[in-house]
Amino acid sequence: MNLVIANMKKRQSVRLFEQKPIPKDIINTIIEAGNLAPSTGDTKEVEEGGKKRKIIDYQPWRFVVVEDPEFKQKLFQTIEPLRSNFYEGLKETIPEMYEQAMKLSEVMEEPKDLVFYSAPIIIYVIGPARNSIGCAMVCENIMLAAVSFGLGSCYVGFGAMVKGNAEVVQALELTDDERIYGPIVFGYPKVNPSERQVSILAELRSKKKDPVIKWI
């Protein structure tokens, strides 16, 4: 099989990780892969010689790599109440999704982290709100690059819900016109997970449908 296609087929959402550090050169390499994503560019203002002018920034995104345990805990404490309340609200409205969340909680190891899954690395992809397509392709690039190094990843939408914590916003250097794409967690997939963990996580993964194609 074509190696690129094989790599794509290996990518899946991983939620159980080994507590093993990821070498910085690998992290830098997958970020560089993200930076190669297609982009229409974005305009920004620069000052030269006392005059302001607009230029095109063809990589208008940036990355924040989180590995510090204390900052991870700060992120978790900011987001977990929002995640918990969201799923509690689904108990009556979408019971199937609520039950899935309960099953996931059951197989997670202590201390249970249902936001970032206790992953060794969290990467925030941050960019202009008006450049959502380009930034989304950045995220896909880094997840596919991670697979080639034997890493697992998971796109965690709840991880973006940090704006209620001014200290976190300051640390991420978020501006009003920026948006968080991701974040994405990375780590080496857990070795020898239990049969129950394998079963539940397989159940939670979305079933891939055949593509819908119209030829003209």
pLDDT digits (tens, 9 = 90+) for 154-198: 999 999 999 999 999 999 999 988 999 989 999 999 998 888 898
* 45 has pLDDT over 90: no
pLDDT of residue 201: 85
pTM: 0.90
Q: With 90 as the cut, is the pLDDT of residue 215 above it?
A: yes
Please determine, for residue 1, whether its predicted confidence score (pLDDT) is greater than 80. Answer: no
Rounded CA-CA distance 76/215 in Å is: 47
- pLDDT value for 48: 79
Residue 115: which of 59, 165, 64, 155 has the closest Cα?
155
Q: Is the pLDDT of residue 14 over 80?
A: yes
Question: In the structure, what pLDDT confidence band is assigned to residue 41 with cuts at 50, 70 and 90?
Answer: confident
Averaged pLDDT of the chain:
92
What amino acid occupies position 111? P
H helices, E strands: number in the chain: 7, 6
Structure tokens at 153: 């990843």
pLDDT at 49: 78
Q: What tokens does 25 get?
A: 């050169």
Locate 46 and state its tokens.
Answer: 């620069």
What is the CATH code for 13-38+59-203?
3.40.109.10
pLDDT of the residue at 26: 97
